Structure 1
Amino acid sequence: MSAASGKSRLKLDMDNRMAWRKVPAGIRIGGAFVALGAVMIVFGVIELFSGGLLQPFAVTPRFLVILLAAAILGGFATVSKYENSSRLQVIALAVAVILVFASRALPNDPIMLIEQFWLSLWAVTAIICGLIIRRSLMPKA
């Protein structure tokens, strides 16, 4: 490379190295599912201790927006150790935080009532799905 092109040889080598170390979309989707499962477990535990065992869980707009924020955060929090945090990741984090704060302005009226065990089952299913998706993208020996 000539000096007139504006790129040094080291910069080109780093660009080539970074191309194969990008986090695949499947890993990000798996991270979103795992984050969804983790948030549902937290909500389930809070409901268990505050409402008691086998009480109905109210699915509210606040709950759904917090799940959306968790999915965004889980999808964009996964990075390679060789990948610098990008502007897109910072924007996604900001959107997730704004969604959590905006959820406080939403009504707390229940959309539907479900049994507590459904929330736990959905959480475990989301975590298993996320781990299966992430595992399917790992290189086979």
Structure 2
Amino acid sequence: MAQAAFEEIVEDFEFLEDWEDRYRYVIEQGKAMDPLDDALKVPATKVDGCASQVWLHPQIDDGVFRFDGESDAMIVRGLIAVLRKLYNDMPVSAVLGVDARAELERLGLNDHLSAQRSNGLRAMIERIRAVAAAA
């Protein structure tokens, strides 16, 4: 089950008719995120499998999952923002129950990302799931 913040993205996407507008929306979501502190851009937070540079910094406080992230690519930074809306503030025990692929399919992203971007998105989801599984 998706977070309310993600449901807002789904609703917004319904109003945006063409993919250029939807890409712009995703990029704007990324621009709205606070930048990740440079001290957190270390090998341990770097996500392998992405064509661009990607860092995810997960935190679990009192059983609640959150993460921040950064990328040097604007669209990927936007995808991080979308994933944050999907997962942030969720009980860590619920993270593994999220079918991210199905949720993102509701946005149609799977059909409109390059193979490299899709692989990177998959790598980010795998990292999130691995952190939750280890908690």
TM-score (norm 1): 0.26
TM-score (norm 2): 0.27
The structure whose Rg is larger is: 1
Greater per-residue strand proportion: 2
